[in-house]
Chain A
Amino acid sequence: MMSLAEGAVSHITSEVRWRIFKDFLQDVGLARHHIESFNSFVEIGLKDIVSSLGVIEVPTKEPSLKGLVIEFVDVSIGTPKFYEVEGHVVDVTPMMARLRNLTYSVPVSAKVVVKKDGNVLYEDEVPLCSLPVMVRSKIDPTSRMDRKELAEIGEDWRDPGGYFIVNGSERVIVAQEDLAPNRVFVEKAEMGANITHSAKMISVSAGLRVPTIVDRLKDGTLVINFPPLLAKVPVVIVMKALGLTTDKEIVYAVSHDPEIQQELLPSLLQVQEIRTRDDALDYIGARIAAGQVAEARRKRAEEVLDRYLFPHIGTDPSPSTRLMKALYLGQMVCKLIELVLGRREPDDRDHYGNRRLRLAGDLLAQLFRVAFRQYIDELRSALERITIRSGRINVKAFARPDIITERIRHALATGNWVGGKTGVSQMLDRTNWISTLSHLRRTVSPLSRGQPHFEARDVHGTQFGRICIFETPEGPNCGLVKNLSLYVKISSGVNPGEIRSVIKKLGVIPAEEVYEKLLNGDPEIVENISSYAKVFLNGTLIGYYVGSSETLAKAIIHLRRRGRLHPEVNVKYIKTEYVNEVYINTDEGRVLRPLIVVENGKPKLTEDIVSDYLSGKITFSDLVRKGIIEFIDPDEEENAYIAMDTSDLTPEHTHLELWPPAIVGVAAATIPFLEHNQSPRNTYQAAMAKQALGLYAANYNLRFDSRAHVLHYPQKPLVQTRFLDVIGYNDRPAGQNFVIAVLSFTGYNMEDAIILNKSSVERGLARSTFFREYSTEELRYAGGQMDKIEIPEPSVRGYRGRENYALLDEDGIVSPETKVSSGNVLVGKTSPPRFMEEYKELGIISTTRRDTSITLRHGDKGVVDTVLLTVSADGNKLVRVKVRDLRIPEIGDKFASRHGQKGVVGLLVPQYDMPYTPDGITPDVIINPHALPSRMTVGQLIESIAGKVGALAGRLVDGTPFYGEKPENLRMELLLRGYPSDGTEPMYDGRTGELLANPVFIGVVYYQRLHHMVADKMHARARGPIQLLTRQPTEGRAREGGLRFGEMERDCIIGHGAAMLLQERMLESSDKVVVYVCSDCGLVGWFDRKRNRYVCPLHGDKGRLSPVKVSYAFKLLLQELMSMLIYPRLILGDKYEAIGGE
């Protein structure tokens, strides 16, 4: 079918496509979805919520003031400010907030008017809250700063923003994946249940989420359920309660098709005795408000239907809204019956078109709504408590802005959102640049990770180009935590009103009108309705189109391409024998991707446009505006036929991929020649890219991260992918180009270990610095007591010994560039005694203060890098100390290439022992050949050759997936430069000078040093601290703990019959204790010092007590049993008799 002339598309080279895609990526930005979402919340959402909920009818008994209303009309947002404890206000920058543990927030106030009968009596600005600012959003002044200005306030100009700073820590609101709201999904029920089929939907409106289910039971009747209803209610009854009283009305609300109508018969027959609307309301009322009078029951039923049934359609009690709800329910039933009749397939919930991403703005809006409601309620009840005499109410005096502030701050700081979601906000991962970006582009599915959910975890075809197919964690979160592809743009939502008027002009008849005419038997409608296409807008049937669904969909797409509709409007049509439907989507959170439009087999990206584009005459947004490139959601993609490449184009094609490599996410974008690897290896690398050390932020010297690593000499990879420049990896790299030989050598590289060149390490290879932060605050306590930062006197409780305080200056803080080791005090601090009151009661007024100094963690060492003295948000003295430690690679440190090949250092070999090539090149790393065949990371081999070419030619090699330089060409170039084309070279053994029998594969591969280091992990103990409660050794390196001798180890010793060894391990070296047990009562006694003898709790002096060696934990068990009123008796016998027998 190669009917196309080659020339027609020859101008769309891969260069051109990359240029366009690159501009798109730079335009959209990597954290832009968060920022845009937050912007729209601040600009529109906030105001909408405030004005829709901010109405208070002033409670007053004064008749002249009846009808007095307080209205919140407008919102104004200030600039980032902080209110010091002393009272003055200062401007804050993000860095200031990070350093002083402040919240980077802006004051938000509302314009409030007091009205009576529409006349404004009084106007005031009332503070609403202090709203955390998303860094680099519209209300953040740093979004308008240039590179130099940013540097001056200590910001990294490359920082993508998209996170909040709450109490000094950076928090991201992770995109939450959710089922698309307001859409009906039909499915077959599981076998065996009483239900055959069901239709489900979640109605979402204004922060309210009502899941609604219509089930078809075995007997053919239909029932509905949604939360306020405590039990299932027949659908027909709900229809009647909504005002459709006759069977005809009900039946036509579902369908005009007799076959479908037939299916309703059982439902209609079932509720024959309920005739009127009142009967129906009564029936519902009896279930939700049982025991009340009939009138109240009906009222309650009406209320529930108005407020909780399909609230997205409306919550007002007008008959027209109720009719619309009935029609929506009718459609739900219709879809269900179509499934029953086999006219349509069950819906696929994992289809990405049925998923929406809820971003920062959306989630904040939800939170703000709840908080604002509380604010209003609080305001109302405050007004109730006073007597109002005039319209001049000083609203400001009663407003409690801290309600909203605290609520938002708390949710952001803990991640606990309204609606019971946890982990919504997370601490921004600052391990390296990629980990930060990837964290900002992460999505989380709410499905529980305990259950398998295989389908939900699988890659779905519709995720192509939307979700990175490689980047997902292994283990319980696999497939639930996902990352966005580079292609992605997330829809921010278009007002559906715009599209309504447009489609009306296209000849769509409103659904209510059709229903009306159908009931009245309008001949034209009755005659033709079966050929009409149903038109759904965001899941709700809004009308019928006279004609085929395809025609309407094409017309809408045409209008969008002409710029008459918003580019985010997407449309899908279904045309089968029975189904003729158009779905129009305008809602937010859809995952869109850009494609080049193709018409009649020819891309609309013509030669002229390309040349205009390349010369800069038109920009990316012009291409979108002209309909040359359009954004497609997964629904619309169902109707598209997309060519991967220009050479694949046929007249049937509707689109051309813009830049296929962009189907990967930021982490996988680091992998060169990715298409040559076995896919799980790419997944491993996507995970490891986030653990590599590098330059995580250019302002690392100013920052106080709780732990951070910085690589001394990060390098750009010699083998690039084109994305690296755009995502900023080349400016903030995380790795170095190593010379790698594939060789067994000494054998110290077996099982994935690597041999490092000791001399390379001495020259600075993979060196890094580790920073850890220690901080303390001078807290104030009730009763005027406070902490004091000082050198503690030897008399304080918990004094650590003079030598540990030796490094402190007279202000009680270490000075920079001091060498410190485990146990050294960094900040000396004393606190007032605990339990002051109790001491007083006992008559001992203790004045000894406690030592609460900050010491270097156990096992750490280093040099004090920076000391920061400042004032915290509460006005207390805050001391932060940053300790750095030089980390030279050593045996046991972890390294990885970009192809999922990780390994730890097994041996360091000096240069003169290393094998060398005739040129005198010694490898930096020797990896074992066994690492390659089973893993099939061919990409690494190609990278090795490409890296060698790059090093020889002094250029960067392009390894972009699918579009990189061809391995054949690279090999040819290698040959031309005087090296064997297969990447091997003859090598000599450095120890003997002998030529190795076979040539060795050697090249340059980009290696990452991962943050798992021996220095942080190695640990041993002979004796040390024990736990207070059980007297067993503590656990964990930080507590100088012992190494667990576990169950399996115990079994092993038992198996060997080494009883004495077992006792030594489990008892002598652990929690041995000698207790005195009374042989009469079997209870544990004690030693009475006054009388100098052992005493039994029951028999007192007369007890016959014998020493017994037990584990202290066992003694505890006995006491715990006693506390439960169980009498545990130990029956004693003679040790030797027992063994001797008889």
Chain B
Amino acid sequence: MVGIEITEKNDTVLALVLRDIPLEFANAIRRAALEEVLTMAIDYVVFYDNTTALSDEIIAHRIAMVPLRSDLAIDKYRRPEECRGSNPPEGCYVSLYLEAETGPQEELVIYSKDLKPQEDPEVVPVYGDIPLIKLGPQQRVVLEAWARLGRGREHIKWSPATVSVLTYIPNVRVITERCNLCRLCVERCPTKAISVVNDRIVVDSTKCNLCRQCVSVCEPEAIELDWEKDRYRLLIESSGSLKPERIFLEAVLQIKTKLLEFQRSFKEVFSGVGGGS
């Protein structure tokens, strides 16, 4: 049976061990965390004034990179599929506003916290201290930024996870009979997984990352690398827009939705043909 074990969990990181799950499925979750999960990000910027040293395109790009709080927004706003076209329906976009000006002799750094939500106080930058623009004396910038839900597949700014990694769980075996105790593997192992205990090479497989350094130095070929079947470690690191566990759940949900859609269209095709069960 599929099993999950949490090895690490905090506001930004979630580390799991997935048990009895095929690689294809585990990797689908990993990828879905990056490309499928919906998040809020700024997609459209209207400039009313910009006399800064940076051009509109650069500022717009910088603002788009700011992660926005999305946990509530996911359910509140329309999905990107519904927001296409030049005239999107209500409930697609939400705006943030930025206005700043400097006097003579004044310099000012604008941070992400200066992006003020207009309609929805829940869609705000996650981190307030991301520097966006530096204004020199007598410069002004006024803009309205429109955010919507999107997926990482469209643009990476909509990806809630910065890191999403699926790794094997190693199983390192030392064939003691062949080992001549040259200790080269101990020296070369970057993760310090190998040690010598009572004149025997002992490997702590939990530390190993399968880098093969020990194998390449071991002349008598006393080390064999292997990994466990259908057990994987999954590590998700959040950009802040969603909690990591939410990313995981949403990823699974997205896969499920896709499969359901797939099922539905499959059924449609069959009912069209006249078959069906």
Show the binding face of A for B, using Cβ within 8 Å: 701, 712, 758-759, 762-764, 767, 769, 817, 863, 865, 884, 886, 910-912, 916, 918-920, 974-975, 978-982, 984-986, 988, 990, 992-995, 998-999
Contact = CB atoms under 8 A, between A and B. Distances in A.
Given A918-B167, A981-B188, A988-B166, A993 B210 contact: no
Contact of A992 (B23, B35, B47, B152): B23
A18 to B, nearest CB: 33
Contacts of A911: 34, 152, 156, 159
Contacts of B65: 763-764
B216 to A, nearest CB: 8
Contacts of A980: 188, 190, 211, 213
B34 A979 contact: no
A919 B164 CA distance: 9
A985 B211 contact: yes
Contacts of A769: 55, 57-58
Interface stretch (B24-32, B78-86, B100-108, B257-265): B24-32
Closest 6 CB pairs of A and B: A993-B27, A920-B163, A759-B156, A912-B34, A920-B165, A762-B156
B209 A986 contact: yes
A701 to B, nearest CB: 6
B143 to A, nearest CB: 12
A984 B211 contact: yes
Contact of A920 (B24, B157, B164, B188): B164
B206 interface: no
Given A910-B35, A920-B162, 7 more contacts: A712-B58, A763-B65, A919-B165, A984-B211, A993-B30, A994-B23, A995-B168
Contacts of A993: 23-24, 26-27, 30, 166, 232
B43 interface: no
A1003 to B, nearest CB: 14
Contacts of A918: 165, 167, 209-210
B157 A986 contact: no
A974 B237 CA distance: 24
B176 interface: no
A984 B214 CA distance: 13
A865 B58 CA distance: 13
A986 B212 contact: yes
Contacts of A975: 188, 190
Interface residues of B, number: 43
A911 B159 CA distance: 10
Interface string B228-247: 00001001010000000000
Chain B contact surface mostly: mixed
A758 B166 CA distance: 20
Contacts, number: 96
Contacts of B164: 912, 920
Contacts of B76: none
A999 B156 contact: no
Nearest to B32: A912
B61 interface: yes
B24 to A, nearest CB: 7
B153 interface: yes
Nearest to A151: B136
A986 B35 CA distance: 23
Contacts of B175: none
A998 B24 CA distance: 20
Nearest to A913: B31
Contacts of B155: 762
A769 B26 CA distance: 41
Interface string B46-71: 01001001011110010001000000
B22 to A, nearest CB: 10
B190 A981 contact: yes
Residue of A769, A817, A978 ringed by the most chain B CB atoms within 10 A: A978
A1088 to B, nearest CB: 59
8 contacts: A759-B152, A759-B156, A762-B155, A763-B65, A910-B156, A912-B30, A920-B163, A984-B211
A986 B210 CA distance: 6
B211 A992 contact: no
Given A975-B190, A986-B209, A759 B159 contact: yes
Contacts of B47: 817
A981 B35 CA distance: 33
A1133 B155 CA distance: 68
Contacts of B138: none
B191 interface: yes
Contact of B24 (A817, A886, A990, A992): A992
A986 B211 contact: yes
Contacts of B57: 769, 863, 886
Contacts of B188: 975, 980-981
A910 B155 CA distance: 9
A912 B152 CA distance: 9
Contacts of B55: 769, 863, 865, 884
A355 B15 CA distance: 69
B230 to A, nearest CB: 12
Contacts of B53: 701
Given A759-B156, A759-B159, A999 B212 contact: yes
Residue of B50, B165, B188, B192 ringed by the most chain A CB atoms within 10 A: B165
Contacts of A984: 211
A992 B27 contact: yes
Given A920-B237, A992-B23, A993-B27, A912 B35 contact: yes
B156 to A, nearest CB: 4
A763 B156 contact: yes
Residue of A919, A920, A978, A984 ringed by the most chain B CB atoms within 10 A: A920
A1098 B120 CA distance: 89
Contacts of B213: 980-982
A250 B152 CA distance: 94
B210 A995 contact: yes
A817 B65 CA distance: 23
B174 to A, nearest CB: 19
B47 to A, nearest CB: 8
A976 to B, nearest CB: 9
Nearest to A985: B211
Contacts of A817: 47, 50, 56
Interface in B160-195: 162-168, 188, 190-192
Contacts of A994: 23
B137 to A, nearest CB: 11
Contacts of B211: 980, 984-986, 999
A762 B34 contact: no
Nearest to A885: B57
Given A769-B55, A980-B211, A995-B168, A990 B31 contact: yes
A916 B165 contact: yes
A982 B163 CA distance: 24
Contacts of A986: 209-212
A998 B216 CA distance: 11
A980 B215 CA distance: 12
A758 B167 CA distance: 23
A979 B190 contact: yes
A611 B162 CA distance: 51
A865 B55 CA distance: 8
A988 B227 CA distance: 14
Contact of B167 (A764, A884, A886, A988): A988
A712 to B, nearest CB: 6
Contacts of A978: 190-192
A979 B191 CA distance: 7
A984 B26 CA distance: 25
A1089 to B, nearest CB: 54
A920 B12 CA distance: 14
Contacts of B50: 817
A982 B27 CA distance: 28
A763 B158 CA distance: 11
A219 B162 CA distance: 89
Contacts of B23: 992-994
A886 B58 CA distance: 9
Nearest to B65: A763
